[in-house]
Chains A and B, each alone.
Chain A
Amino acid sequence: MAGLDFETVYQEHKGNIWSLVSRYVFTAEDREDLFQEVFINVHRALPRFRGESAVGTWLYRIAVNTAVNQLKKRDRHRKVIEVLSGLRLIEAEEPAAGAGFSLERPLARLSPRQRMVVTLSDIEEKKLEEIAALMALPLGTVKSTLHRAREILKKELSAYDRL
C-alpha cells in the first residue's frame, strides 16, 4: 500500500500500542522494551502491508504477536537459568505473609497466551471474535483460554485475601 510511512504510523498509533503494552507488562523497562520491539517489527513488516485490513488492526496484530512472543522468550530464558543455577526464580506458589501486592504476580501464573486473552478481553474490552482474529485462534480456543485464565487469576487473588 503506497504512502504508508513509518513516521505517520508511529504518530497515529503510539497511544494505542502503549495502552496495550502497559496493560500486558508492568515495569517501566519491560513496557519500553516491548513498545520499541513492536515498532521495530512494524518497521520491518511495513513494506509487506497490502492494505487488506485497517492499519490499526494490522498494527494491533503485530503488537499482540510481539508481546506474546516476547513473554514466551522471557519464560524460556528464566527456565534455562533455573535449570542451570538450580534456583527457582518464580515466586512461591502462595504469596508470603506480608508480601506486597503487585499487579504482575497474579498474571505471572498465566501463560503468555492466557495473559493476552485476559488483557484483550477483560482489560481492553475487545469482543471474543475480534480476539480470535487478532490472535489467529479459533473462537472456541479463545473462550476456553479465557475461562481457564479467569479461574487461575481468581484463585490467585483469593490467596491474597487470606493473608
Chain B
Amino acid sequence: MIGYDEYLGRIRDGKGTADFAALRRSIGGKIIARQKARARRAAAGVLALFLISAAAYFACPAVMTEGGQLYAYVFEPDISDGPVLDYVFSD
C-alpha cells in the first residue's frame, strides 16, 4: 500500500546520480554536431535558392526570345494572317 505523500517522497528521494563531467562533454559534442547540421542546411538552402533563381532567369521569356523575337511572333501584325488564322476563319 502506498499513499500519495509516500509516493511523492519516493520520487523526491530517487534523484539518482549524474556524471556531470561526462554529460558536459556529451552536450559539447551535440552542440557542435547541431551547429554543423544547421550550417549544412543553410548551405543547402543558399544552393537551392541559387538554382531556383538561375532556372527562373533562364526560363524568363525575355531571355528565351533572344532579344524579343518571341514577342515579335505574338505582337507582330504580319503574322496575324498566317495559315492558322486562315484555317480558323475558313468556312
Q: Judge: A and B partners, yes or no.
A: yes
Using a CB–CB cutoff of 8 Å, the interface residues on chain A facing chain B are 10, 14, 18-19, 22-23, 26, 28, 31-32, 35-36, 39-40, 43, 101, 103, 106, 122-123, 150, 153-154, 157, 160-161
Cα distance A138–B57 when bound, in Å?
53
B residues 39-53 with Cβ under 8 Å of A? none
Closest 10 CB pairs of A and B: A22-B15, A161-B1, A39-B27, A36-B27, A14-B20, A18-B18, A122-B8, A154-B4, A43-B31, A22-B16
* Closest A residue to B5 using CB positions: A122
Main secondary structure on B side of the interface with A: helix
Cα separation A22 to B16 with both chains bound (whole Å): 7
Find out whether the CB atom of B31 lies under 8 angstroms from the CB atom of A157.
no
Chain A residue nearest to B3 in the complex (CB): A157
Which residue of the partner chain A has the closest CB to B22? Answer: A32
Q: A34 vs B27: C-alpha distance in the bound complex, in angstroms? A: 11
Contact between A10 and B15, CB atoms less than 8 A apart: no
Chain B hits for A32, CB < 8 A: 18, 23, 26
